Structure 1
Amino acid sequence: MTVEIEQARRERTRHTAVELAGVGKTFGTGPDAVTALRGIDLRVAHGEFVCLLGASGCGKSTLLNLLAGLDGATGGTVAVSASRPSFMFQEAALMPWLTAARNVELPLQLAGWSRHARRDRAAELLGLVRLDGVGAKRPHELSGGMRQRVSLARALAAATSSDSDEGPGLLLMDEPFAALDAITRDVLQGELLRVWEATGTTIVFVTHDVREAVRLAQRVVLLSSRPGTVVKEWDARSHRDGLTDEITGRLRQVITSHAA
């Protein structure tokens, strides 16, 4: 029986990029303590695209920080079996003194790649995000949308910068398109889907935009207001029609109950 349980655990791990069990996060101690997350149970499969949705302050970004290893949980367990989690933020956060290509190369250089190999990989990733021919430009020469494409290419480089048997890389995205105009945001959402389908990267995407979540995700996970916990999950692959209204209604209930 013990052998069967261990084999089942290994099989589950092989297919799981992220697993959180009873995860909580509290900042501070005593009367000033603030509980951001409580009792989070969440599993993300390798290659899956999951959107975390919730109102501002519900702990979405805190949850990403736990997955990235930038902070530790104060309760429960966080298991990340995907190789090299990488972050993409609302701001592109590119090194202004480096060219687009050198920004993409940076995580590869830190991982010990040779100059020739990282140049080839950077060119490949810039092509993947439709930025052929701009590798020599610096961030100030690029539009906001182009800078976010470079940021995406760099994040993909970081997520896949080592040979690993742990499955595809893990890309953590914290409202990466929120600061862009509507047209550019729409274009980059489509580009992200294309890149995800081409690479098989596991994506955990934080947003407060219901339409964005429904368009992008295979699965939408709604968090409650602080302290954040999982309220409900939806499989967005099976029925996107009408799902935006359904999730919006549930989100309004969450916000209203918290305000009351």
Structure 2
Amino acid sequence: MTATLDGSAVRPATDSAVRLAGVHKTFGQGAHSVPALAGVDLDVAPGEFVCLLGASGCGKTTLLNIIAGLDRPTTGELELNSSRPAVMFQEAALMPWLTASANVELPLRLAGVPRAARKSRTIELLDLVRLGGVGGKRPHELSGGMRQRVALARALASALHTGGSSDVPSLLLMDEPFSALDAITRDVLQAELLRVWRSTGAAVVFVTHDVREAVRLGQRVVLLSSRPGRVVQQWQVGDLSGAEEAETVDVVNQRLREVISSHATA
């Protein structure tokens, strides 16, 4: 069943992979300042799959950048209880002169992982995303879906703990990674992402404007208001039946339309 959560409820920090409290973000100063986020509270448990949903320009990507450490909040608190977050974007952004294997291996090499260990890990990660036979190919030789699989393997590699034998990713940040793909490829990669997530135990924060994608992938869907973004509603959506999923998509779509309409008439 679908359950609506109290947006003000926050888990204890010890139970969080990442926690944001009262996060505000404003770009610029004075009369030219633009508020992007207004008091966001968000708590993601270890291993949880959370989808951030909202209209274009509501601050989803800004929030992801703050979690990733690519930007800083104007005010508020961010607490990470995980390894370094890895980020996957809409574009695969692979190095065109490197093979698929070399692209996956790159963050491990930059982290100082010994050559033998990173070669072994790269093979494991390409196998994990079902690209075991294409490690020697360059990006232009791969389809769009295959390039995104390589990008996923690279993101997993960059999220690894490198100091011990239990190398597992803990936090993966994804910014509309499938939006540029055709519908069939997107459907396939959504299923593959769920398989990889279950096999790795990583926490995932997934940004999308597609309600159906959010409900299908997430254990929890978090709806942001129009700019400046804040959490307006949350739904538990894990393990829904087909009928429940369709009903939840309708409910969330209706709430999203209300949020957009209220902003347009404000």
TM-score, normalised to structure 2, is 0.91
Correspondence 1:249 to 2:254: yes
Could you tell me whether the CA contact under 8 Å between 2:226 and 2:260 is conserved in 1? yes
| Structure 2 residue identity aligned to 1:254 | V
Count of aligned positions: 250
Task: Report the equivalent of 1:133.
Answer: 133
Partners in 2 of 1:238 and 1:101 — Cα distance?
34
Q: CA deviation at 1:75?
A: 1.1
What residue is the counterpart of 1:182 in the other structure?
A: 183
- Alignment correspondent of 1:199: 200
* Displacement of 1:128: 0.3
Match of 1:7 in 2: none
1:15 CA drift (Å): 2.4
Amino acid at match of 1:171: L
Q: CA RMSD in A?
A: 1.6
Distance in 2 separating the partners of 1:112 and 1:119:
12
- Gaps spanning 5+ residues in structure 1: where? 1-10
- Give, in whole Å, the separation in 2 of the partners of 1:55 and 1:161: 35
Equivalent position SS for 1:76: strand
Shift of 1:96: 0.5
Q: 1:84 deviation in Å?
A: 1.1
Q: Which residue of 2 aligns with 1:108?
A: 108
Cα distance, 1:163 vs structure 2: 3.4
Q: Distance in 2 between matches of 1:17 and 1:30?
A: 35
Residues 183 and 217 (structure 1 numbering): CA distance in 2 closer, same or farther, change over 3 Å? Answer: same
Q: Aligned-pair distance for 1:81?
A: 1.4
Matches within 5 A, 1:16-55: 16-55=16-55
The 1:134/1:229 distance shift into structure 2, 3 A limit, reads same
The within-5 A match list for 1:114-129 is: 114-129=114-129
Matches for 1:42-191 after TM superposition, within 5 Å = 42-163=42-163, 168-191=169-192
Query: Could you tell me which amino acid in structure 1 is paired with residue 38 of structure 2?
Result: R
User: Shift of the alpha carbon at 1:169?
Assistant: 1.8
- Structure 1 stretches of 4+ moved >2 Å: 11-15, 161-168, 238-241
User: What is the CA distance between 1:206 and its match in structure 2?
Assistant: 0.1
Cα shift at 1:166: 11
Q: Secondary structure at the match of 2:263?
A: helix
Give aligned-pair identity as a percent.
Answer: 67
Distance 2:106 2:260 in 1: 41
Contact 1:46 1:168 in 2 (8 A): no
Deviation of the 1:66 alpha carbon:
0.3
Q: Kindly tell me: are residues 114 and 153 of structure 1, through their superposed partners in 2, closer, same or farther at Cα, counting changes over 3 Å? A: same
Q: Following the alignment from structure 1 to structure 2, what is the Cα–Cα distance between the partners of residues 166 and 190?
A: 24
Deviation digits for residues 73-117 of structure 1 (CA, Å, limit 9, x no counterpart): 011101111101010000000000100000000010011111111
1:167, distance to aligned residue in structure 2 (A): 8.0
Q: Is the 8 A contact 1:171 1:203 kept in 2?
A: yes
- Quick one: distance in 1 between partners of 2:79 and 2:206? 18
- Mean alpha-carbon deviation: is it higher for 233-242 or for 82-91? 233-242
